[in-house]
Chain A
Amino acid sequence: MTQFETELQDAKSEIINMWELVLLQLTKAKDAMLSFDKDLAREVISKEKRVNAFELKIDRDCENIFALYCPVAIDLRFLLAVLKINNNLERIGDIAEGIARYIVESPARFNIAMLEDIELIKMFEDSISILTDTRVAFEFENTLLARTIFSRDDILDDINKRADDHISKFIRDDASVISQALYILSIIRKLERVGDQSKNIAEEIIFYVEAKVLKHQ
């Protein structure tokens, strides 16, 4: 294997490692939310530094490969995808950290019944599952799997739309839950963005493998 191919492999492993870290962050944030574990939430906040460090390293590694090897065709598309996915993952990392901050700031634990009604737990689990599948699709160049992401993201969008009504109903029924409700609404918005970011990632994977641009279609 040439030095060039080694570097491409390394870039691939690096971004997959970052993927795993971000997935772990989201999972921890979900667990912290469910068990109202502020310590776990603080862990997520401090690990966010590592996510950022990954982003910087991957950016730099790609820049070096471009400078030294003038990649073309599939290698070029691969690296362009890696750069964009790098960005997307970092934002998802930010979202996980943001959710963790809410948990730290929230004075009272969240009402599990409310969470279930709004389908927040389902949304959380779905978004983690979608992100996991993008990682699998990337690792195995599986564009079929990548294409399933689009319809699954629609489910998250639907939950987001329905959330407004649910939250209003909760607040009307019991005004004291307002601060909790606002946190929950914010978490829903953030999770909807996780879905969007995952959709972007899926588009990049299809571009890299098939040279098809699905953006803005």
Chain B
Amino acid sequence: MKQNIKYRIGKSKFFKFMVILLAILCTVPLFVILIYILKEGITKINWHFLVNLPKPVGETGGGIANALVGSLLIVFFAALIAIPIGIMGGIYLSENRKSWLANWTRLAVDVLQGTPSIVVGIVIYFWIVKPLSTFSALSGSVALAIMMLPIVVRSTEETLKLLPDSLKEAGLALGLPYQRVILRILLPCGFSGVISGAILAVARIAGETAPLLFTAFGNPYFSTNILKPMQSLPLLIFNYATSPYDDWHNLAWGAALILLIWVLLLNIITKITTRRWKVQF
């Protein structure tokens, strides 16, 4: 009997050890990437780097100002499109569990989530870029918005589904019309969940490259015209990292670090907003 117990304790300890080891293993790639990019990129970042345009081939120095501004604009408009639509979609899905429209919508959202980003890019190329006969930041925003949509819809739906029915009933019993119950009770109570879903969606598409290849296309000059091609960080990294020029490699490393910091910040902000605004029941 004693032998049996010793064996079982040993087995349990071994299992625990393996679980911890594999968990650490999961974090290794993240740390390796972080440390490597930090190492390579930190030396390249300075004020000069952030406010200047890339120099033509052969000249040293230069910066990523156009890509930085471009990314901000493209992501901003993508969010502007995706967040309202996504929230509305999420509200519809959480309120109508069984209607055929809800089922089809859920299916569409799931499929969209799995669609390769490059496919989205090509589709937008045919829908928007070709008819307008120009690459544009707007088309890039639309492509990114399509990729953001499933995340916003799903997180809104899940957040609202978690809210107890009693909240809705309390509102209805006070004689509130349906849309007021949603807008003035449910959404405010689920605010932290909805917002964190939106921020996460932004973090997700911040570094997407493939959709922008055929839509925003890239622009070596500084531009704020969303109806014309625009540079963005991922595109810059894509182009410059594979180029044969060292100067451009440096820019790519710096840009990669900026992007990483951006994504990290967004995730941290999500955590903070969730905690601060979370409504306790």
Do A and B touch directly, given a CB cutoff of 8 Å in the complex? no
Chain A residues within 8 Å of B, Cβ to Cβ: none
